[in-house]
Structure 1
Protein backbone atom coordinates (compact mmCIF):
# COMPACT_ATOMS: atom_id res chain seq x y z
CA UNK A 1 0.00 0.00 0.00
CA UNK A 2 1.29 3.43 -0.92
CA UNK A 3 2.21 5.38 2.21
CA UNK A 4 4.50 8.40 1.94
CA UNK A 5 4.89 8.47 5.71
CA UNK A 6 7.38 5.62 5.31
CA UNK A 7 9.34 7.20 2.48
CA UNK A 8 13.04 7.37 3.29
CA UNK A 9 13.42 11.04 4.34
CA UNK A 10 16.84 11.19 2.69
CA UNK A 11 15.03 11.07 -0.66
CA UNK A 12 13.15 14.28 0.13
CA UNK A 13 15.52 16.41 2.23
CA UNK A 14 17.17 18.12 -0.72
CA UNK A 15 13.84 18.36 -2.54
CA UNK A 16 12.60 20.30 0.49
CA UNK A 17 15.59 22.65 0.31
CA UNK A 18 15.05 23.27 -3.40
CA UNK A 19 11.35 24.03 -2.94
CA UNK A 20 12.09 26.33 -0.01
CA UNK A 21 14.63 28.24 -2.13
CA UNK A 22 12.05 28.64 -4.89
CA UNK A 23 9.44 29.86 -2.41
CA UNK A 24 11.82 32.20 -0.59
CA UNK A 25 13.60 33.73 -3.57
CA UNK A 26 11.07 33.63 -6.42
CA UNK A 27 7.70 33.50 -4.64
CA UNK A 28 6.78 30.21 -6.29
CA UNK A 29 3.63 28.60 -4.90
CA UNK A 30 4.77 25.20 -3.56
CA UNK A 31 1.39 23.80 -4.56
CA UNK A 32 2.36 24.35 -8.20
CA UNK A 33 5.43 22.11 -7.89
CA UNK A 34 5.27 18.45 -8.93
CA UNK A 35 8.16 16.08 -8.30
CA UNK A 36 8.97 14.13 -11.47
CA UNK A 37 11.88 12.12 -12.83
CA UNK A 38 14.09 9.70 -10.94
CA UNK A 39 13.50 11.17 -7.50
CA UNK A 40 9.75 10.81 -7.99
CA UNK A 41 10.29 7.15 -8.92
CA UNK A 42 12.45 6.54 -5.86
CA UNK A 43 10.02 8.28 -3.49
CA UNK A 44 7.11 6.17 -4.75
CA UNK A 45 9.29 3.07 -4.59
CA UNK A 46 10.09 3.78 -0.96
CA UNK A 47 6.48 4.68 -0.10
CA UNK A 48 5.40 1.28 -1.41
CA UNK A 49 7.79 -0.40 0.99
CA UNK A 50 10.09 -1.67 -1.75
CA UNK A 51 13.64 -2.35 -0.64
CA UNK A 52 15.38 -3.44 -3.85
CA UNK A 53 17.33 -0.63 -5.52
CA UNK A 54 16.25 1.22 -8.63
CA UNK A 55 18.59 2.63 -11.29
CA UNK A 56 21.04 4.99 -9.55
CA UNK A 57 20.90 8.67 -10.48
CA UNK A 58 21.55 12.06 -8.92
CA UNK A 59 19.01 13.89 -11.07
CA UNK A 60 16.38 16.19 -9.57
CA UNK A 61 13.51 17.18 -11.85
CA UNK A 62 10.43 19.20 -10.99
CA UNK A 63 7.39 20.17 -13.00
CA UNK A 64 6.02 23.67 -12.47
CA UNK A 65 2.34 24.35 -13.20
CA UNK A 66 2.02 27.86 -14.65
CA UNK A 67 -0.74 30.27 -15.62
CA UNK A 68 1.83 32.52 -17.27
CA UNK A 69 5.62 32.74 -17.63
CA UNK A 70 6.12 35.06 -14.63
CA UNK A 71 7.32 32.49 -12.08
CA UNK A 72 9.64 30.83 -14.59
CA UNK A 73 11.14 34.20 -15.52
CA UNK A 74 11.81 34.93 -11.83
CA UNK A 75 13.58 31.60 -11.48
CA UNK A 76 15.66 32.39 -14.54
CA UNK A 77 16.71 35.77 -13.13
CA UNK A 78 17.52 34.47 -9.65
CA UNK A 79 19.32 31.17 -10.21
CA UNK A 80 22.40 30.29 -12.24
CA UNK A 81 22.00 28.32 -15.45
CA UNK A 82 24.01 25.12 -15.69
CA UNK A 83 24.21 22.56 -18.46
CA UNK A 84 22.95 23.12 -21.98
CA UNK A 85 19.28 22.15 -21.96
CA UNK A 86 18.04 25.66 -21.05
CA UNK A 87 15.96 24.54 -18.06
CA UNK A 88 18.66 23.40 -15.61
CA UNK A 89 19.57 25.63 -12.69
CA UNK A 90 21.66 25.38 -9.56
CA UNK A 91 19.14 25.72 -6.74
CA UNK A 92 20.07 25.10 -3.09
CA UNK A 93 23.39 23.69 -4.37
CA UNK A 94 21.52 21.13 -6.48
CA UNK A 95 21.30 20.79 -10.27
CA UNK A 96 17.57 21.00 -10.96
CA UNK A 97 15.64 20.70 -14.20
CA UNK A 98 12.54 22.94 -14.04
CA UNK A 99 9.88 21.79 -16.51
CA UNK A 100 7.11 24.39 -17.02
CA UNK A 101 3.66 23.22 -18.10
CA UNK A 102 0.04 24.32 -18.18
CA UNK A 103 -2.62 25.09 -20.77
CA UNK A 104 -1.85 28.81 -20.66
CA UNK A 105 1.78 28.35 -21.74
CA UNK A 106 1.61 25.25 -23.93
CA UNK A 107 1.33 25.76 -27.67
CA UNK A 108 0.41 23.36 -29.11
CA UNK A 109 -0.96 21.16 -26.34
CA UNK A 110 1.85 19.23 -24.69
CA UNK A 111 4.61 21.56 -25.89
CA UNK A 112 6.19 24.37 -23.84
CA UNK A 113 8.88 26.63 -25.25
CA UNK A 114 10.82 28.45 -22.53
CA UNK A 115 12.72 31.44 -23.90
CA UNK A 116 15.82 30.16 -22.10
CA UNK A 117 15.73 26.91 -24.05
CA UNK A 118 15.29 28.12 -27.60
CA UNK A 119 13.47 24.97 -28.60
CA UNK A 120 10.35 23.09 -27.63
CA UNK A 121 10.02 20.97 -24.50
CA UNK A 122 7.63 18.02 -24.45
CA UNK A 123 5.37 18.18 -21.39
CA UNK A 124 2.63 15.93 -22.75
CA UNK A 125 0.33 14.69 -19.99
CA UNK A 126 1.86 16.82 -17.22
CA UNK A 127 -1.34 18.80 -16.72
CA UNK A 128 -3.49 15.67 -16.43
CA UNK A 129 -1.02 13.94 -14.12
CA UNK A 130 -0.79 17.07 -11.96
CA UNK A 131 -4.57 17.23 -11.62
CA UNK A 132 -4.63 13.63 -10.32
CA UNK A 133 -1.40 13.82 -8.32
CA UNK A 134 -1.17 13.18 -4.61
CA UNK A 135 -0.05 15.81 -2.12
CA UNK A 136 3.01 15.23 0.01
CA UNK A 137 4.38 17.39 2.82
CA UNK A 138 8.13 17.82 2.64
CA UNK A 139 10.41 17.60 5.70
CA UNK A 140 12.17 20.55 7.31
CA UNK A 141 10.25 23.51 5.88
CA UNK A 142 6.85 21.81 5.67
CA UNK A 143 5.98 22.83 2.12
CA UNK A 144 3.32 20.73 0.42
CA UNK A 145 3.93 19.74 -3.19
CA UNK A 146 2.43 17.19 -5.55
CA UNK A 147 3.74 13.81 -6.59
CA UNK A 148 2.25 11.60 -9.32
CA UNK A 149 0.46 8.40 -8.50
CA UNK A 150 2.16 5.23 -9.82
CA UNK A 151 0.11 5.26 -13.06
CA UNK A 152 0.65 9.02 -13.31
CA UNK A 153 4.38 8.43 -13.21
CA UNK A 154 3.76 5.75 -15.83
CA UNK A 155 2.18 8.35 -18.14
CA UNK A 156 5.31 10.48 -18.02
CA UNK A 157 7.62 7.52 -18.63
CA UNK A 158 5.53 6.09 -21.48
CA UNK A 159 5.60 9.45 -23.24
CA UNK A 160 9.32 9.79 -22.51
CA UNK A 161 9.87 6.41 -24.16
CA UNK A 162 7.97 7.59 -27.23
CA UNK A 163 10.05 10.77 -27.44
CA UNK A 164 13.49 9.48 -26.57
CA UNK A 165 13.58 5.99 -28.05
CA UNK A 166 13.59 7.64 -31.50
CA UNK A 167 17.04 8.97 -30.58
CA UNK A 168 18.17 5.58 -29.22
CA UNK A 169 17.70 6.56 -25.58
CA UNK A 170 16.07 3.59 -23.89
CA UNK A 171 16.26 4.15 -20.12
CA UNK A 172 12.53 4.88 -19.84
CA UNK A 173 11.68 1.24 -20.52
CA UNK A 174 13.60 0.30 -17.39
CA UNK A 175 11.61 2.83 -15.39
CA UNK A 176 8.37 1.38 -16.71
CA UNK A 177 9.64 -2.06 -15.67
CA UNK A 178 9.89 -0.64 -12.12
CA UNK A 179 6.26 0.55 -12.34
CA UNK A 180 5.20 -2.88 -13.54
CA UNK A 181 7.03 -4.33 -10.54
CA UNK A 182 5.01 -2.04 -8.27
CA UNK A 183 1.82 -3.42 -9.78
CA UNK A 184 2.96 -7.04 -9.66
CA UNK A 185 3.81 -6.76 -5.95
CA UNK A 186 0.69 -4.84 -4.99
CA UNK A 187 -2.07 -6.42 -2.96
CA UNK A 188 -4.43 -3.82 -4.41
CA UNK A 189 -3.65 -5.11 -7.91
CA UNK A 190 -4.27 -8.70 -6.90
CA UNK A 191 -7.60 -7.79 -5.31
CA UNK A 192 -8.69 -5.92 -8.42
CA UNK A 193 -7.81 -8.79 -10.74
CA UNK A 194 -9.94 -11.26 -8.76
CA UNK A 195 -12.96 -9.07 -8.14
CA UNK A 196 -15.87 -9.39 -10.58
CA UNK A 197 -16.88 -5.79 -9.96
CA UNK A 198 -13.40 -4.47 -10.78
CA UNK A 199 -10.89 -5.99 -13.22
CA UNK A 200 -11.45 -9.76 -13.27
CA UNK A 201 -12.27 -9.41 -16.97
CA UNK A 202 -8.53 -9.10 -17.53
CA UNK A 203 -7.73 -12.20 -15.50
CA UNK A 204 -10.12 -14.18 -17.68
CA UNK A 205 -8.92 -12.50 -20.88
CA UNK A 206 -5.36 -13.67 -20.22
CA UNK A 207 -6.36 -17.16 -19.02
CA UNK A 208 -5.46 -16.39 -15.41
CA UNK A 209 -1.90 -15.36 -16.29
CA UNK A 210 -1.54 -12.72 -13.59
CA UNK A 211 1.59 -11.11 -15.03
CA UNK A 212 -0.05 -10.42 -18.39
CA UNK A 213 -3.24 -9.26 -16.68
CA UNK A 214 -1.18 -6.91 -14.54
CA UNK A 215 0.67 -5.46 -17.54
CA UNK A 216 -2.65 -4.76 -19.27
CA UNK A 217 -4.07 -3.26 -16.07
CA UNK A 218 -1.11 -0.88 -15.80
CA UNK A 219 -1.65 0.26 -19.38
CA UNK A 220 -5.35 0.73 -18.69
CA UNK A 221 -4.66 2.78 -15.55
CA UNK A 222 -2.14 4.94 -17.38
CA UNK A 223 -4.74 5.66 -20.05
CA UNK A 224 -7.27 6.66 -17.39
CA UNK A 225 -4.88 9.34 -16.13
CA UNK A 226 -5.25 11.22 -19.41
CA UNK A 227 -8.04 13.40 -20.70
CA UNK A 228 -9.97 12.54 -23.85
CA UNK A 229 -7.83 12.77 -26.94
CA UNK A 230 -4.56 12.61 -25.07
CA UNK A 231 -5.32 8.99 -24.10
CA UNK A 232 -5.59 7.92 -27.74
CA UNK A 233 -2.58 10.03 -28.67
CA UNK A 234 -0.34 8.23 -26.20
CA UNK A 235 -1.69 4.78 -27.09
CA UNK A 236 -1.14 5.39 -30.82
CA UNK A 237 2.35 6.83 -30.34
CA UNK A 238 3.44 4.00 -28.06
CA UNK A 239 2.13 1.36 -30.48
CA UNK A 240 4.12 3.01 -33.27
CA UNK A 241 7.37 2.94 -31.29
CA UNK A 242 9.85 0.05 -31.45
CA UNK A 243 8.08 -2.43 -29.20
CA UNK A 244 10.68 -5.12 -29.76
CA UNK A 245 13.35 -2.79 -28.44
CA UNK A 246 11.06 -1.82 -25.56
CA UNK A 247 10.75 -5.49 -24.60
CA UNK A 248 14.52 -5.96 -24.74
CA UNK A 249 15.07 -2.88 -22.58
CA UNK A 250 12.63 -4.01 -19.87
CA UNK A 251 15.45 -6.07 -18.40
CA UNK A 252 16.07 -9.69 -17.52
CA UNK A 253 14.28 -9.38 -14.18
CA UNK A 254 10.99 -9.70 -16.04
CA UNK A 255 12.01 -12.96 -17.71
CA UNK A 256 13.23 -14.14 -21.06
CA UNK A 257 12.67 -12.01 -24.15
CA UNK A 258 9.62 -14.03 -25.24
CA UNK A 259 8.00 -13.26 -21.89
CA UNK A 260 8.90 -9.58 -22.12
CA UNK A 261 7.41 -9.39 -25.61
CA UNK A 262 4.13 -10.80 -24.28
CA UNK A 263 4.18 -8.31 -21.40
CA UNK A 264 4.83 -5.47 -23.86
CA UNK A 265 1.89 -6.50 -26.05
CA UNK A 266 -0.39 -6.70 -22.99
CA UNK A 267 0.77 -3.29 -21.78
CA UNK A 268 0.21 -1.74 -25.23
CA UNK A 269 -3.27 -3.30 -25.35
CA UNK A 270 -4.04 -1.75 -21.96
CA UNK A 271 -3.13 1.69 -23.27
CA UNK A 272 -5.98 1.36 -25.80
CA UNK A 273 -8.50 0.06 -23.23
CA UNK A 274 -10.85 2.64 -21.71
CA UNK A 275 -13.34 0.18 -20.23
CA UNK A 276 -12.54 0.81 -16.54
CA UNK A 277 -11.68 3.69 -14.23
CA UNK A 278 -8.29 3.45 -12.54
CA UNK A 279 -7.69 2.58 -8.91
CA UNK A 280 -3.88 2.57 -8.93
CA UNK A 281 -1.25 0.50 -7.15
Structure 2
Protein backbone atom coordinates (compact mmCIF):
# COMPACT_ATOMS: atom_id res chain seq x y z
CA UNK A 1 0.00 0.00 0.00
CA UNK A 2 2.81 2.44 0.77
CA UNK A 3 3.93 2.43 -2.88
CA UNK A 4 0.74 4.23 -3.96
CA UNK A 5 0.43 8.01 -4.01
CA UNK A 6 -2.71 9.26 -2.28
CA UNK A 7 -3.95 12.46 -3.90
CA UNK A 8 -6.01 14.70 -1.61
CA UNK A 9 -5.21 17.97 -3.37
CA UNK A 10 -8.09 20.44 -3.18
CA UNK A 11 -9.52 18.88 -0.01
CA UNK A 12 -7.55 20.59 2.76
CA UNK A 13 -7.93 23.93 4.47
CA UNK A 14 -5.51 26.49 2.97
CA UNK A 15 -3.97 27.19 6.37
CA UNK A 16 -3.23 23.52 6.96
CA UNK A 17 -1.56 23.24 3.55
CA UNK A 18 0.48 26.33 4.42
CA UNK A 19 1.69 24.66 7.62
CA UNK A 20 2.63 21.38 5.92
CA UNK A 21 4.44 23.15 3.07
CA UNK A 22 6.26 25.34 5.58
CA UNK A 23 7.54 22.45 7.67
CA UNK A 24 8.48 20.36 4.66
CA UNK A 25 10.50 23.27 3.28
CA UNK A 26 12.39 23.65 6.55
CA UNK A 27 13.04 19.94 7.10
CA UNK A 28 14.17 19.49 3.49
CA UNK A 29 16.60 22.40 3.89
CA UNK A 30 18.16 20.60 6.89
CA UNK A 31 18.06 17.16 5.22
CA UNK A 32 15.70 15.89 7.93
CA UNK A 33 13.10 13.20 7.24
CA UNK A 34 9.64 14.33 8.36
CA UNK A 35 6.55 12.24 9.07
CA UNK A 36 2.98 13.31 9.86
CA UNK A 37 1.66 11.26 12.78
CA UNK A 38 -1.24 11.42 15.24
CA UNK A 39 -4.84 12.38 14.51
CA UNK A 40 -3.92 14.35 11.41
CA UNK A 41 -2.21 11.33 9.85
CA UNK A 42 -5.35 9.32 10.54
CA UNK A 43 -7.57 11.93 8.91
CA UNK A 44 -5.32 12.63 5.91
CA UNK A 45 -5.35 8.96 4.91
CA UNK A 46 -8.68 7.56 6.05
CA UNK A 47 -10.97 10.60 5.80
CA UNK A 48 -9.54 12.76 3.02
CA UNK A 49 -7.97 9.85 1.17
CA UNK A 50 -10.67 7.19 1.44
CA UNK A 51 -13.85 8.82 2.75
CA UNK A 52 -14.05 7.51 6.32
CA UNK A 53 -16.02 9.69 8.72
CA UNK A 54 -14.08 12.02 11.01
CA UNK A 55 -14.69 10.92 14.59
CA UNK A 56 -13.27 14.05 16.18
CA UNK A 57 -11.79 17.12 14.55
CA UNK A 58 -8.43 18.52 15.59
CA UNK A 59 -6.27 21.60 15.22
CA UNK A 60 -3.29 19.72 16.64
CA UNK A 61 -0.70 18.75 14.06
CA UNK A 62 1.88 16.16 15.12
CA UNK A 63 5.13 15.60 13.24
CA UNK A 64 7.99 13.21 13.88
CA UNK A 65 11.47 14.00 12.62
CA UNK A 66 14.41 11.62 12.26
CA UNK A 67 17.49 13.39 13.61
CA UNK A 68 20.91 12.43 14.89
CA UNK A 69 21.35 15.14 17.54
CA UNK A 70 19.61 17.82 19.55
CA UNK A 71 21.49 20.32 17.41
CA UNK A 72 19.43 19.16 14.40
CA UNK A 73 16.25 19.68 16.41
CA UNK A 74 17.46 23.09 17.58
CA UNK A 75 18.20 24.17 14.00
CA UNK A 76 14.67 23.28 12.92
CA UNK A 77 13.26 25.06 15.94
CA UNK A 78 15.15 28.23 15.00
CA UNK A 79 13.75 28.11 11.46
CA UNK A 80 10.21 27.70 12.77
CA UNK A 81 10.57 30.63 15.17
CA UNK A 82 12.02 32.79 12.39
CA UNK A 83 8.98 31.89 10.25
CA UNK A 84 6.47 33.20 12.77
CA UNK A 85 5.80 30.10 14.85
CA UNK A 86 5.40 30.86 18.55
CA UNK A 87 7.20 28.66 21.06
CA UNK A 88 5.43 27.15 24.03
CA UNK A 89 6.71 28.75 27.22
CA UNK A 90 7.64 25.38 28.77
CA UNK A 91 7.83 22.68 26.10
CA UNK A 92 10.54 22.81 23.43
CA UNK A 93 8.57 20.69 20.97
CA UNK A 94 5.30 22.64 21.09
CA UNK A 95 4.51 25.62 18.87
CA UNK A 96 1.47 27.61 17.85
CA UNK A 97 0.94 29.03 14.39
CA UNK A 98 -1.64 31.39 12.93
CA UNK A 99 -2.05 30.68 9.23
CA UNK A 100 -2.76 33.37 6.65
CA UNK A 101 -6.49 32.59 6.84
CA UNK A 102 -6.50 33.47 10.55
CA UNK A 103 -6.81 29.94 11.97
CA UNK A 104 -4.72 28.88 14.96
CA UNK A 105 -2.85 25.57 14.78
CA UNK A 106 -0.95 23.73 17.49
CA UNK A 107 2.23 22.00 16.33
CA UNK A 108 4.02 19.18 18.14
CA UNK A 109 7.42 18.07 16.80
CA UNK A 110 8.80 14.77 18.15
CA UNK A 111 12.42 13.85 17.35
CA UNK A 112 13.53 10.23 17.05
CA UNK A 113 16.40 8.32 15.45
CA UNK A 114 20.03 8.45 16.58
CA UNK A 115 19.04 11.13 19.10
CA UNK A 116 17.35 8.43 21.20
CA UNK A 117 18.99 6.37 23.92
CA UNK A 118 17.50 2.94 24.61
CA UNK A 119 14.52 3.89 22.43
CA UNK A 120 13.74 6.97 24.54
CA UNK A 121 14.28 10.68 24.27
CA UNK A 122 14.59 13.04 27.23
CA UNK A 123 13.98 16.72 26.72
CA UNK A 124 16.75 19.25 27.43
CA UNK A 125 17.86 21.12 29.39
CA UNK A 126 16.93 19.12 32.51
CA UNK A 127 16.25 15.83 30.67
CA UNK A 128 13.61 15.01 33.28
CA UNK A 129 10.73 14.20 30.92
CA UNK A 130 11.20 10.92 29.04
CA UNK A 131 9.24 9.66 26.05
CA UNK A 132 9.37 6.34 24.20
CA UNK A 133 10.10 6.61 20.48
CA UNK A 134 9.59 2.93 19.77
CA UNK A 135 7.63 2.46 16.56
CA UNK A 136 8.66 5.72 14.92
CA UNK A 137 11.39 4.19 12.69
CA UNK A 138 8.89 1.59 11.46
CA UNK A 139 6.20 4.22 10.87
CA UNK A 140 8.64 6.24 8.77
CA UNK A 141 9.74 3.21 6.74
CA UNK A 142 6.12 2.27 6.04
CA UNK A 143 4.93 5.84 5.40
CA UNK A 144 2.44 6.73 2.69
CA UNK A 145 3.09 9.52 0.21
CA UNK A 146 0.24 12.02 0.16
CA UNK A 147 -0.15 14.84 -2.36
CA UNK A 148 -1.72 17.77 -0.50
CA UNK A 149 -1.39 20.37 -3.26
CA UNK A 150 -0.95 20.30 -7.05
CA UNK A 151 0.17 23.87 -7.70
CA UNK A 152 2.81 24.10 -6.50
CA UNK A 153 3.02 20.35 -6.05
CA UNK A 154 3.65 19.26 -2.49
CA UNK A 155 3.90 15.64 -1.36
CA UNK A 156 4.38 14.73 2.28
CA UNK A 157 5.09 11.51 4.18
CA UNK A 158 2.21 10.38 6.37
CA UNK A 159 2.06 7.44 8.76
CA UNK A 160 0.01 4.55 7.37
CA UNK A 161 -2.85 3.06 9.41
CA UNK A 162 -0.52 0.20 10.37
CA UNK A 163 2.12 2.71 11.47
CA UNK A 164 -0.44 4.75 13.41
CA UNK A 165 -1.70 1.57 15.08
CA UNK A 166 1.82 0.68 16.18
CA UNK A 167 2.42 4.17 17.59
CA UNK A 168 -0.94 4.18 19.39
CA UNK A 169 -0.23 0.84 21.07
CA UNK A 170 3.14 2.12 22.29
CA UNK A 171 1.69 5.48 23.34
CA UNK A 172 -1.01 3.79 25.45
CA UNK A 173 1.65 1.95 27.46
CA UNK A 174 3.74 5.13 27.84
CA UNK A 175 1.06 7.61 28.92
CA UNK A 176 -0.52 8.51 32.23
CA UNK A 177 -3.63 6.41 32.86
CA UNK A 178 -6.07 9.29 32.38
CA UNK A 179 -4.70 10.01 28.88
CA UNK A 180 -4.83 6.44 27.60
CA UNK A 181 -8.46 6.16 26.38
CA UNK A 182 -7.82 8.39 23.35
CA UNK A 183 -5.11 6.05 22.04
CA UNK A 184 -7.24 2.92 22.43
CA UNK A 185 -10.24 4.67 20.89
CA UNK A 186 -8.07 5.63 17.91
CA UNK A 187 -7.09 1.98 17.43
CA UNK A 188 -10.80 1.12 17.40
CA UNK A 189 -11.38 3.82 14.79
CA UNK A 190 -8.58 2.38 12.63
CA UNK A 191 -10.20 -1.05 12.80
CA UNK A 192 -13.65 0.30 11.97
CA UNK A 193 -12.34 2.34 9.03
CA UNK A 194 -9.65 0.02 7.62
CA UNK A 195 -11.86 -1.55 4.95
CA UNK A 196 -12.49 1.91 3.46
CA UNK A 197 -9.12 1.44 1.76
CA UNK A 198 -9.83 -0.46 -1.50
CA UNK A 199 -6.72 -2.64 -1.32
CA UNK A 200 -7.60 -3.66 2.24
CA UNK A 201 -11.23 -4.36 1.37
CA UNK A 202 -10.11 -6.52 -1.55
CA UNK A 203 -7.68 -8.44 0.66
CA UNK A 204 -10.38 -9.13 3.25
CA UNK A 205 -12.39 -10.99 0.59
CA UNK A 206 -9.74 -12.50 -1.68
CA UNK A 207 -7.50 -13.70 1.15
CA UNK A 208 -10.39 -15.35 3.02
CA UNK A 209 -10.46 -13.08 6.08
CA UNK A 210 -14.19 -12.46 5.64
CA UNK A 211 -15.00 -16.14 5.25
CA UNK A 212 -12.90 -17.04 8.28
CA UNK A 213 -14.70 -14.48 10.46
CA UNK A 214 -18.25 -15.18 9.24
CA UNK A 215 -18.26 -12.12 6.98
CA UNK A 216 -17.94 -9.77 9.94
CA UNK A 217 -15.93 -6.92 8.45
CA UNK A 218 -14.96 -5.46 11.82
CA UNK A 219 -13.49 -8.71 13.13
CA UNK A 220 -11.71 -9.39 9.84
CA UNK A 221 -10.31 -5.85 9.80
CA UNK A 222 -8.97 -6.23 13.35
CA UNK A 223 -6.92 -9.25 12.30
CA UNK A 224 -5.73 -7.61 9.07
CA UNK A 225 -4.71 -4.36 10.81
CA UNK A 226 -2.89 -6.37 13.46
CA UNK A 227 -1.05 -8.34 10.80
CA UNK A 228 -0.04 -5.20 8.92
CA UNK A 229 1.22 -3.52 12.11
CA UNK A 230 3.07 -6.66 13.19
CA UNK A 231 4.68 -7.02 9.76
CA UNK A 232 6.46 -3.66 10.09
CA UNK A 233 7.34 -3.86 13.80
CA UNK A 234 11.00 -4.18 14.74
CA UNK A 235 11.98 -6.89 17.29
CA UNK A 236 12.52 -4.38 20.10
CA UNK A 237 9.04 -2.93 19.53
CA UNK A 238 7.46 -6.39 19.53
CA UNK A 239 9.28 -7.30 22.76
CA UNK A 240 8.17 -4.10 24.48
CA UNK A 241 4.53 -4.54 23.46
CA UNK A 242 4.49 -8.17 24.58
CA UNK A 243 5.91 -7.23 27.96
CA UNK A 244 3.78 -4.16 28.66
CA UNK A 245 0.52 -4.97 26.88
CA UNK A 246 -0.02 -8.17 24.93
CA UNK A 247 1.06 -10.52 27.74
CA UNK A 248 -0.03 -8.24 30.58
CA UNK A 249 -3.59 -9.37 31.34
CA UNK A 250 -4.47 -6.33 33.45
CA UNK A 251 -3.36 -3.90 30.74
CA UNK A 252 -5.08 -5.94 28.03
CA UNK A 253 -8.39 -5.63 29.86
CA UNK A 254 -7.94 -1.89 30.40
CA UNK A 255 -6.99 -1.33 26.75
CA UNK A 256 -10.09 -3.19 25.58
CA UNK A 257 -12.26 -1.11 27.92
CA UNK A 258 -10.63 2.07 26.61
CA UNK A 259 -11.57 1.02 23.06
CA UNK A 260 -15.23 1.63 23.95
CA UNK A 261 -15.63 5.12 22.57
CA UNK A 262 -18.42 7.18 24.18
CA UNK A 263 -19.14 8.55 20.69
CA UNK A 264 -20.53 5.20 19.57
CA UNK A 265 -24.07 4.72 20.83
CA UNK A 266 -24.32 1.19 19.46
CA UNK A 267 -21.28 -1.04 19.93
CA UNK A 268 -22.25 -4.61 19.05
CA UNK A 269 -18.65 -5.79 18.94
CA UNK A 270 -16.99 -7.07 22.11
CA UNK A 271 -13.87 -4.88 22.32
CA UNK A 272 -12.08 -7.60 24.28
CA UNK A 273 -12.56 -9.97 21.33
CA UNK A 274 -11.59 -7.21 18.93
CA UNK A 275 -8.33 -6.50 20.74
CA UNK A 276 -7.53 -10.22 21.04
CA UNK A 277 -7.91 -10.57 17.27
CA UNK A 278 -5.67 -7.57 16.64
CA UNK A 279 -3.01 -9.07 18.94
CA UNK A 280 -3.40 -12.45 17.23
CA UNK A 281 -2.82 -10.88 13.83
CA UNK A 282 0.06 -8.74 15.09
CA UNK A 283 1.99 -11.61 16.66
CA UNK A 284 1.39 -13.96 13.72
CA UNK A 285 3.28 -11.59 11.41
CA UNK A 286 5.80 -10.32 13.96
CA UNK A 287 6.86 -13.86 14.80
CA UNK A 288 7.18 -14.73 11.11
CA UNK A 289 9.79 -11.96 10.86
For the aligned pair, the TM-score class normalised by the smaller chain equals: 0.7 to 0.9
2:88 to 77, 82, 91: 82
Distance between the aligned counterparts of 1:267 and 1:67, measured in 2? Answer: 33
Alignment partner, residue 218 of structure 2:
211
- 5 Å-filtered alignment, 1:58-69, equals 58-69=59-70
Calculate the aligned-residue CA RMSD, in Å: 3.3
Q: Once the two structures are superposed, what CA deviation does each residue of 1:62-98 show, in whole Å capped at 9, x if it has no partner?
A: 1111133333112334524215433102356543111
User: Is the Cα contact below 8 Å between 1:113 and 1:120 reproduced in 2?
Assistant: yes
Distance between the aligned counterparts of 2:118 and 2:153, measured in 1? Answer: 35
Unaligned stretches of 5+ residues in structure 2: 100-104
- 5 Å-filtered alignment, 1:77-156, equals 77-78=78-79, 79=81, 80-82=86-88, 84-91=90-97, 94-102=105-113, 104-109=114-119, 111-115=120-124, 118=127, 119-139=129-149, 142-156=153-167
The normalised TM-score by structure 1 is 0.80
Please state whether the residue corresponding to 1:76 is helix, strand or coil: helix
- 5 Å-filtered alignment, 1:1-281, equals 4-6=6-8, 9-10=11-12, 13-20=15-22, 23=25, 27-29=29-31, 32-78=33-79, 79=81, 80-82=86-88, 84-91=90-97, 94-102=105-113, 104-109=114-119, 111-115=120-124, 118=127, 119-139=129-149, 142-164=153-175, 166-195=177-206, 198=207, 200=208, 206=213, 209-239=216-246, 240=248, 242-250=251-259, 251=261, 253=264, 256=267, 259-274=270-285
In 2 relative to 1, CA 158–75 (structure 1 residues): closer, same or farther, beyond 3 Å? Answer: same
Compare the two structures and name the one with the higher strand fraction: 2
Unaligned stretches of 5+ residues in structure 1: none
Q: Which moved more, 1:2-11 or 1:90-99?
A: 2-11
Please state whether the residue corresponding to 1:97 is helix, strand or coil: strand
In 2 relative to 1, CA 137–183 (structure 1 residues): closer, same or farther, beyond 3 Å? Answer: closer
